[in-house]
Amino acid sequence: MTEEEKIFKGILFCPGDPELRAIKLRSHNLSKEYSETYEHETEKRAALAKEILAKFGEGSFMQGPVFFHYGKHTEIGDRVFINYNFTVQDDALVKIGNDCNFGPNVTIVTPLHPMIASERKLMLDRDGNKKRFCYAKPVTIGSDCWFGANVTVCPGVTIGSGCVIGAGSVVTRDIPPNSFAAGVPCRVIREITEEDSMKYKPEILADNNVI
């Protein structure tokens, strides 16, 4: 079993494995190249996004700078808007649905490390070799979600479609669909309902209309 296959099984893997390091080096360099593009270089950005990621959907936009750890472990759906300083440490798979919006400085992480300090430093592989190990859990985000600035999504979390995650939240557990959730740790505040429609806020809606 390769070290990448171990990641997907959720068991300990060695991040210093040469094949993994080659994947990460490629993604780091491409992320840097993307981050150095100008906003009007749309064709170059689109080409780089498709090189970095397993999927970059139609009509999606990343403001940059961005940072993807593995890149090819991340799928982004259609019409997704991503603001400044988007970081995805995608050791495990990260899947983002359609029509999501991400504020500045959003971070998604999948890797985990042993709690015992000595185990974080070194453990023994099956052949008795001393190595540094970690493990990872996938993150899944549904469609039509909005993430405020400075949100962190932690390993193993699933966020249902139609959610709003308040600014500065640290999401450590699953969030059910159509929820407004916020806080550290993030918790569900309430369900999002029809009463949240802008049509009930005429002072903000002004002379516009809801479709």
- Catalytic residue numbers read 113
- Non-local CB neighbours of 165 within 8 Å, separated by 6+ positions: 145, 146, 147, 148, 151, 159, 171, 175, 181, 182, 186
Evaluate whether 12 touches 6 at the Cβ level (below 8 Å): yes
d(CA 199, CA 203): 9
DSSP3 helix / strand / coil % (the chain, rounded to 5)? 25, 25, 50
d(CA 110, CA 157): 9
